[in-house]
Amino acid sequence: MKILAIPLLALITILFTACLPVEEPVLPPPITTVPEVRTMRTFQIERGDVQRFSNPITQYIPLRQESMSFSVAGRRIGGVFVSIGDEVMQGDVMAELENPYIFYTLRDERWNEDWVQMQISQLNERHNFSLNQALITGNPIDDQHYLDERNRLEGELGIVRMRIAHILNEIDDMQIRAPFDGVVTWAMEFGGVMWSSVGQPVVTISDQGQYIFRLIGNDVQFVTIGEYYTLTIGGEPFPAVAIDPDEEDFQRPPQVGEQDEAFFRLIGDDMPVVAGNMTASVFLLHDEIRDVIFLPIMHINTVGDRTFVHVLENDIIVIRDITTGLQGNAIIEIVSGLDEGELVVI
């Protein structure tokens, strides 16, 4: 009985303990932080120039521009030998169809031409020798066979030269050559096996003989002929002058409907490499006022007819009504309501 009493007592103790309430753990007090003081952003009123301007895009006008293609279709392209920006001279081969055998044929025909010409030269020497002998001896000769042979050889020479001309024409059809000195403004990207197609542009070349840029649109009203401007090409500024197209010797582009246009010519010794698809932005000043109090437009508040800003006075933000004048691209003239040196809360 004592052996069974001990386990029974342990079981009762466990059951009694499970019925007792459990105390919840005491949580630590919450940690509070003081928010950082936000720095007040202000803009100090100062004086400067207020400008309203635009930067429209102008298009380069080449003196000449030509897009070239192969005149035969279905021939394998041997290569395009130029890239955009390459300078070429008149007659340079820029692209070619694949046909290596034609050049061997041309070489053989050139040899035939030289051979026939040598035969004619030797025949003439023999004929002249015979005539001299007849003159010395006084015995007349029958030179008809010389004449017949010369006619035959000259006929053969004519046929050879016709074949050469035909081969040269075929080579011309195979090649695209630069029609004038200029710069490549577009070229087909050649890779792998490609075939020719009649009318498909392969290379475009532009003449660099003039540096004229054309502006179209409403911004033309801000251009004055004879005034100097700055054209930006590829991030680099270039000086230019607005010109009268009726007094300048350059190729005027075709008119596209009724539109305003202005022309700029680059000046100076340092010229860029221009291309037919090149553009340039031009700085055009619409209006300007100098040495005035100004404020960035974004810091001005407008509600109905009221225009105001928030000004810091003795560390207190107050509302101040203002009167504005010329509005520039990013800043605006302050006619009244603010003084130089004051701080506007932004």
Q: Determine the pLDDT at residue 211.
A: 86
Among 4-18, 48-62, 122-136, 187-201, which stretch is predicted with the lowest mean pLDDT?
Answer: 4-18
- Calpha distance 296→303 (Å, rounded): 17
Instruction: Looking at the structure, tell me whether residues 178 and 238 fall in a common domain.
Output: no
In a domain, 24, yes or no: no
Q: Determine the pLDDT at residue 227.
A: 95
Average pLDDT value for the chain = 85
- Calpha distance 322→310 (Å, rounded): 10
- Calpha distance 156→164 (Å, rounded): 12
For 13-38, how does the pLDDT look when each residue is reduced to its tens digit (9 = 90+)?
A: 655 555 556 566 666 766 666 566 56
Q: Determine the pLDDT at residue 345.
A: 93
- Calpha distance 133→87 (Å, rounded): 62
For 328, the domain range is 43-52+288-345
pLDDT interval class at 318 (50, 70, 90): very high
Whole-model pTM?
0.56
Q: What's the total number of domains in the chain?
A: 3
In a domain, 12, yes or no: no
Instruction: Looking at the structure, tell me whether residues 234 and 134 fall in a common domain.
Output: no
Instruction: Looking at the structure, tell me whether residues 84 and 176 fall in a common domain.
Output: yes
76 secondary structure, DSSP code: B
For 51-72, how does the pLDDT look when each residue is reduced to its tens digit (9 = 90+)?
A: 999 999 999 887 788 888 988 8
301 secondary structure, DSSP code: E
Q: Determine the pLDDT at residue 182.
A: 86
Instruction: Looking at the structure, tell me whether residues 341 and 308 fall in a common domain.
Output: yes
pLDDT interval class at 1 (50, 70, 90): very low
Q: Determine the pLDDT at residue 202.
A: 92
Instruction: Looking at the structure, tell me whether residues 84 and 72 fall in a common domain.
Output: yes
In a domain, 11, yes or no: no
Instruction: Looking at the structure, tell me whether residues 237 and 187 fall in a common domain.
Output: no
Strands (E), 170-305: 175-177, 182-187, 203-206, 212-216, 228-233, 236-243, 261-266, 279-282, 284-296, 301-303
pLDDT interval class at 226 (50, 70, 90): very high
pLDDT at 206 over 50: yes
Instruction: Looking at the structure, tell me whether residues 243 and 186 fall in a common domain.
Output: no
- Calpha distance 35→276 (Å, rounded): 61
Instruction: Looking at the structure, tell me whether residues 270 and 192 fall in a common domain.
Output: no
Q: Determine the pLDDT at residue 2.
A: 47
Q: Strand pairing partners for 77?
A: 97
